[in-house]
Amino acid sequence: MSTLKPIDSQNFDSEVLKSEKPVLLEFGATWCQPCRILEPVLEELAGEWGEKVTVAKLDVDEASQITINYQVLSVPTTMLFKGGEVLERLVGYQPKDKISSKVAAHL
C-alpha cells in the first residue's frame, strides 16, 4: 500500500495548486512498470522530508484532463508544484539523489 497522497480531478486544485507547502506530484499509471519502480523512491523521500513537502501521485488514466493540461506525454513524469506553479519537471524514472537535489533547490 502506497503512502503517497492520492490526487485526482476532485482534489487537484485544493491539494496541489492551493497547497501551503511544495507538492512533488508523480503522474503515473497502474500499468506503468517504471512508475512502480519510482514509487518506493518517492516514499523514501517523503519520509525524509516529513512535513516540508507533500509527495503525491496522480493516475493519468483517471485524471486525463489534468494530464493533458500539463502536457504529460510520458509516464512517469514528476513535477514540483509550489504556489500553484510548476518549478521542476522530471520525465521518466529518476534516481533519488537527482529528485532530491531538484526539490532541495526550492525549499
- Residues designated catalytic: 32, 35
| CB atoms inside a 10 Å sphere around CB 19 | 18
Strand partners for 59: 28
